Structure 1
Amino acid sequence: MARFPWACPWEYVNLSVKTKYNEVMVEHEIKNKVELLNSDGTLKEEGFARKPYFLYDRSKIKASKLRIKEWDYYAILDPVEENVICMTFSDLGFAGLFALALIDYKNKRAIQKDQIKFFTMHKTGLIGSPWDDNTIAFSDKKFSFSFTKEGETRHIVVKSEDINIDSCFFQGESKETINIATSWKENRRAFYLNEKAVAMTPISGYVQIKGNRYDVKSNKMTLILDWGRGRWTRENTWYWAAASGFDELNNAIGFNLGYGFSDRTPASENAFFLADKLHKIKNVTFNFESHMKEWIMKDDEGKLNLTFTPVVPRMSKTDLKIIVSDQKQIFGYFDGFVILEDGTKKEIHHLMGFAEEVYNKW
């Protein structure tokens, strides 16, 4: 899930958390294109897909535009300079939320610029498919960015005082992604449509931070995309973790783990990626005593065992009574193993990524 920006101070909260999704998961796979919604606004077919087969049409949603949530969230991970740059472009109906953040592992700090544009009402340019070529852009005095999908390339351009980016990453049709469409038990017209594209590999370009320019290929940077559309329930909590990089054989690797958000009985969004191929994972548990101590992540079948070591917190809390957002995103490194679909054990060493717990009421 995308981390939505709010103009508020950093806040750290200690919690003891042990969470698990206990439903029996079907893992229904969609293998061909399908219209997302029925005429009554319910999902036509729930499940997961290895390509963005779900055909989204905003006009078919049976809800006010204020209830519809749409976002594109990007993260560029640089294992050499040890930083992550996060970019959020979101339209929640009542407002468009835009953010640019630098997560600096070496100095253990998160620096963010954000902007809110009220009553955007889904006129910001976000489209209905992550497959389609398009450009979205935002600009103000603090920063500007544009995201272009053209053929097999995602082109990221950022301009700000401290961060400037002009880089391209690969996302061709051969690259598998994790896509899910699920609804809420309490309201089947409320739904979550999402694509996570993990470990997109660098083609060309640079990232410049405070005058220091780094080549995306030389530094083996990777790109993560969280593409989401949906009509949510008013109050919800989610858990999400993702990581990407390269292994010792120079294969692109990464994973996406998430739960707690919508009824995941039809399918989960849990997957590991090796050389652009998806290896499905079922139920996953996140165990942690506090957000800045080790997290343990395991599945129910013994195919996944990860330890997440936190380095940098990126936290915020807003309470306007009618709108509440409590967001705890932690950046660090993952170690452990995953069993691939062919039974091979894949070791994971010091893989850069993040994990988060987010509560929203809006």
Structure 2
Amino acid sequence: MSERELTTDVSLTLPNGRLNPDAVGWARSPLVDTTGIGRGRGRNKRWEYWGITTPTHVVGMTVSSIDYAAVLELWVLDRATERTWHGTPTLIPARGVVLPARAEAGPSRARAKDFEIDIDELPEGTRLRARMPGVTVDVIAELPAGHERLAVVVPWSSTRFQYTVKDVARPASGILTLDGVAHALPAGESWAVLDHGRGRWPYDIRWNWGAGSGRSGGHTIGVQVGGRWTAGTGSTENAFVVDGHLHKISAELDWQYDLAQWRTPWRVTGGGLDATFTPVYDKVTRTNLGVVAGSTDQCFGDWSGVFSTADGEQIAFDGIFGWAEEVHNRW
């Protein structure tokens, strides 16, 4: 499959609000201006999700507005004990949320009762702060010079489309405080991953997403894979990142797994990637509000395998911690 690489700034939408055909493609940085994705059209989805992984803990934080609701989340997992801390305020109608018009163009904020998230861009990276009873997060997701991110526009139609920035293997530093006990993020072993989304979605959608960050074979490795939701669009959100350099995978990948036996290793292959994901924990989320419903299994574990570059180089990797998920939303 042939995909166009974008190299200059472009607007996601035309003046009439429809998809700008010139925006369809992928880039190595957040070049796409999503100012045209505003509130009030009924299908708009806007979010910032950050996942933070350390040898001892996992943190997930979400600031989102799906037009008719603000859906927020802060989740922490103790990897050794599997104890979790979890807050999921949902505000109807959407309120208490600030999201920038385009990636890295301003702060993101979330406010609810006993719940705060603040995401701020700094010269050295992105500061991630959050607070709820029992949990305080203050982390810097560093942005090393030359670090490349995967930015993709996925077109279902002129009125249904998504812009996503998937940014893996960002070095993380800072403090996670749980029930008054401070945990410093170990340098060189802590990572942050961004999922930035702006778009207008179909009502009923399914997707897979996998991400991993770590060190293997003397390299910093970032795994970024997706599936199902991009099928038939001519775009993919698949890439492999080595020492900050992004190798785009312009192929739909084959996902083999069984959620009924989720601990069985998952296989993700295609486009030069031969990867195995070995899960150790399943974060299960189920919601059913009638018209709005969702089902998510986000499994955490280790990625291993081999990636073959376009030049034929074989890059083996092992012990790259992250996640793989299956999601079905009616929203």
- Does the 8 Å CA contact 2:276/2:304 hold for their aligned counterparts? yes
Alpha-carbon distance, 1:257 to partner: 0.5
2:168 to 195, 198, 223: 198
Query: 1:354 is matched by which residue type in structure 2?
Result: W
Equivalent-residue separation in structure 1 for 2:87 and 2:40 (angstroms): 29
CA offset at residue 99 of structure 1?
0.6
Q: In structure 2, do the counterparts of structure 1 residues 173 and 37 end up closer, same or farther at CA, with 3 Å as the change threshold?
A: farther
Of 286-295 and 104-113, more deviation after overlay is shown by 104-113
Counterpart-to-counterpart distance in 1, 2:232 and 2:149: 18
Question: Root-mean-square deviation (CA), in Å?
Answer: 2.1
Q: Which of 26, 34, 43 matches 2:20?
A: 43
Q: Is the 8 A contact 2:97 2:111 kept in 1?
A: no
- Report if the CA contact (8 A) 1:43-1:183 is conserved: no
Cα distance between partner residues in 2 of 1:173 and 1:68: 33
Asked whether 1:52 is paired with 2:30, we answer: yes
Does 2:110 match 1:138? yes
Residue 240 and residue 321 in structure 1: after superposition, are their counterparts in 2 closer, same or farther (change >3 A)? same
After TM superposition, the structure 1 = structure 2 runs for residues 318-357 of structure 1, keeping only pairs within 5 Å, are: 318-357=287-326
One-letter identity of the residue aligned with 1:270: N
Give the deviation of 1:78 after TM superposition: 0.1
Which string of whole-angstrom CA distances, capped at 9 and with x for unpartnered residues, describes residues 107-148 of structure 1?
245442110111227x7221122232x222223444322111
- Residue 150 of structure 1: which of 113, 118, 122 is its match? 122
Structure 1 range deviating more: 94-103 or 262-271:
262-271
Query: Quick check: 2:231–2:252 contact (8 Å CA) kept in 1?
Result: no
Amino acid at match of 2:285: S
The CA deviation at 1:264 is 5.0
1:211 and 1:124 map into 2 onto residues whose CA distance is 27
- 1:248-263 aligned within 5 A: 248-249=217-218, 251-263=219-231
Quick one: distance in 1 between partners of 2:40 and 2:141?
36
- 2:247 corresponds in structure 1 to 279
Mapped pair 1:28 → 2:1 = no
Q: Structure 1: which 4+ aligned runs deviate by more than 6 Å?
A: none
Counterpart selection for 2:90 from 106, 110, 116: 116
Q: What is the alpha-carbon distance in structure 1 between the residues aligned to residue 25 and residue 188 of structure 2?
A: 36
Q: Which has the higher contact order (CA 8 A, sep 6+)?
A: 1
Matching residue of 1:231: 200
- Give the TM-score taking structure 2 as reference length: 0.91
- Tell me, what secondary structure is at the counterpart of 1:42? coil
1:285-324 equivalence runs, <5 A: 285-290=254-259, 291-299=262-270, 301=271, 303-324=272-293
2 CA distance for matches of 1:118 and 1:98?
12
Take 1:136 and 1:331, find their aligned partners in 2: how far apart are those partners? 26
The CA distance in 2 between the partners of 1:271 and 1:160, in whole Å, is 34
1:93 aligns with 2:67: yes
Question: Could you say if the C-alpha distance between residues 139 and 34 of structure 1 is closer, same or farther in structure 2, counting changes exceeding 3 Å?
Answer: closer
The amino acid that maps onto 1:284 is: L
Taking the aligned partners of 1:264 and 1:104, their CA distance within structure 2 comes to 39
Q: Give 1:57 deviation, angstroms.
A: 1.9
| Residue equivalent to 1:68 | 44
CA contact (8 A) 1:323 1:361 kept: yes
Conserved in 2, the CA contact under 8 Å of 1:28 and 1:267? no
Q: Does 1:103 align with 2:77?
A: yes
Report deviation, 1:262: 4.1
2:163 and 2:90 map into 1 onto residues whose CA distance is 24
Count of equivalent residues:
326
Determine if contact 2:155/2:233 at 8 Å carries over to the other structure. no
The normalised TM-score by structure 1 is: 0.84
The CA deviation at 1:158 is: 2.1
1:189 partner SS? coil
| SS of residue matched to 1:65 | coil
**Quick check: 1:253–1:273 contact (8 Å CA) kept in 2?**
yes
SS at match of 2:202: coil
Q: Deviations over 1:172-199 (max 9, x none)?
A: 5621111111121xx4311010001111
* C-alpha contact (below 8 Å) 2:255/2:269 kept by paired residues: yes
Conserved 8 A contact 2:217-2:317: no
Structure 1 residue 77 corresponds to structure 2 residue 53: yes
Going from structure 1 to structure 2, the CA distance change for 1:349 and 1:263 (only over 3 Å counts) comes to: closer
Task: Pick one of 153, 178, 194 that aligns with 1:209.
Answer: 178
Evaluate the alpha carbon distance shift between residue 110 and residue 261 of structure 1 in structure 2; reply closer, same or farther with a 3 A threshold: farther
